[in-house]
Chain A
Amino acid sequence: MTNRTAIAEGLFTWPSDKPALLGSRCRECNIAEFPVKSSCPACGSQDVGVEQLPRRGKLWSWTIQGFMPKSPYNSGETPETFTPYGVGYVELPGAVCVEARLIENTPEQLSIGMEMELVIETLRYEQQGNEVVTFAFKAVE
């Protein structure tokens, strides 16, 4: 059994059978933000609470990362083994529009407005078989 570690603390509920992204919401102007911030990006108030964000939403825009990014990208891949990945913004209703990797990675699979859901995917394997996971969205089938 490998150890599955989240890429960063506090980004999403983990470990969890039904993980959700964690955001902050301003108690003064009701603006939500991802990831959690200690103040509101709209009004600057420090009166913010943490909440779980909706797990489904609509694709706002997308692209496909066609070349392997330089460091700090850290997926364990080499330029030879690199697989292009989708990147998009997903509108989480009543909350915020979140940027994420997308499981789909061809133009044919992606279109603005399509329904997406949160998944947790493996980003890389480290020594001793430790697995680093991050959040992504994939099309709802």
Chain B
Amino acid sequence: MDVAIVGIGIHPFGRTPGRSGLQQGAFAARQALSDAGVEWRDMQFGFGGSASAGSADALVNELGLTGLPFINVANGCATGGSAMISAYNAIKSGQYDIGIVVGFDKHDRGAFNADPRQMGIGEWYGESGLMLTTQFFAMKIQRYMDTHNISASTLAKVASKAFSNGAKNPNAWRREEIAEEEIASSTMISHPLTKFMFCAPGEGGAAMVLCRADHAHRYSDKPIYLKAATMRSRRYGSFEVFSPSQALQQVDGPTVDASRAAFELAGVGPEDIDVLQLQDTESGAEIMHMAENGFCEHGEQEALIQAGETRIGGRLPVNTDGGCIASGEPIGATGLRQIYETCLQLRGDAGPRQVPNTPKLGYTHVYGAPGVSAVTILQR
């Protein structure tokens, strides 16, 4: 049984004082239900998650106590993707006909403040100043730039494209263009990455109603089919965040593994994808994830990005809604935001940021601590 997305909803990303993370999730869920023309009581199951805005199953208190099985999903930055996989399997197995996935979050200002003990690392790691995701991303791209000749100007171009796309997205947090020069000369957070190259922890929510594909037209005249949803954790030898040590010999990371599995499941290749959303925790991540997901060879990003090919009108439009850099990073919501944007693009409803030539296949990818990745492939 194939799986279709028939309702999509989003709560604007950014800062919404006076509305809890949970309420932002409920907002997105109501919008997704309305988009599919169904009621909360029609939902046969729910999967959802948030990293720091409470337990997703508390949503039933907001939306109605119908008795549905609602399972909390907590998988770091892959939370939304993992909720989607759970829903995919629930329908694919034939157990359910229709259900909902919801992701939301509301983080404090400033960099994420991880607790080493939760990751199974001694307190010395945090006390001595090594427990920062920003350092990991900086060291990964530092080495990547050295090995594959990526320039600092390309890092700035990625962020400037994100703000340019965000300016066309009413649900983005950062909706003003920022020039490449200003990005490059903003405060150096963790060399070679400056302040404007990083996403910031934020708030937001996103939700989808999914159903068995043969019922899709009951709910939507533009159903989007979920051709693949995969998730992988790291293997030994992959360079990951919060690693006091790593192997001397590197192997492919969870992104490569999840991506290959998704393409195999969907029966398509990277060359078939028309629009893609890649985890852009910062500029460097977007660059590396282009190659890790199979969309180019390592090092080819330099020419592609300098030529503007990852912009909305380019050959390989990446993060058309502004990505994490313009939307912020509410951990539980990001994966579903990417799917929301991809559905809009495939429906042809993305307005001023619509990718031209009626895209047919879309791709989403999240990556997060402590080394997990989730991928979906979506088809009109």
Residues of A within 8 A of B (CB): 7-8, 11, 23, 31, 33-35, 41-42, 60-67, 69-75, 85, 87-89, 91, 95-101, 107, 112, 123, 134
Contact = CB atoms under 8 A, between A and B. Distances in A.
Contacts of A61: 139-140, 142-143, 146
Given A63-B193, A96-B246, 14 more contacts: A7-B127, A11-B124, A34-B244, A61-B140, A62-B139, A63-B139, A63-B142, A63-B192, A66-B188, A69-B129, A72-B131, A89-B246, A101-B130, A134-B128
Most chain-B Cβ atoms within 10 A of its Cβ — which of A23, A33, A63, A107?
A63
Interface centre among A67, A75, A107, A123 (most CB of B within 10 A): A67
Contacts of A11: 122, 124
Contacts of A62: 139, 142, 191
Interface residues of B, number: 37
Contacts of B94: none
A8 to B, nearest CB: 4
B191 A63 contact: yes
Contact of A97 (B122, B187, B245): B245
A23 B247 CA distance: 13
Contacts of B130: 87, 99-101
Contacts of A71: 113
Given A7-B124, A61-B140, A87-B130, A23 B191 contact: no
B132 A65 contact: yes
A65 B245 contact: no
Interface in B86-133: 110-111, 113, 115-116, 122-124, 126-132
A33 B245 contact: yes
A113 to B, nearest CB: 9
B139 A91 contact: no
Given A63-B190, A66-B191, A97 B124 contact: no
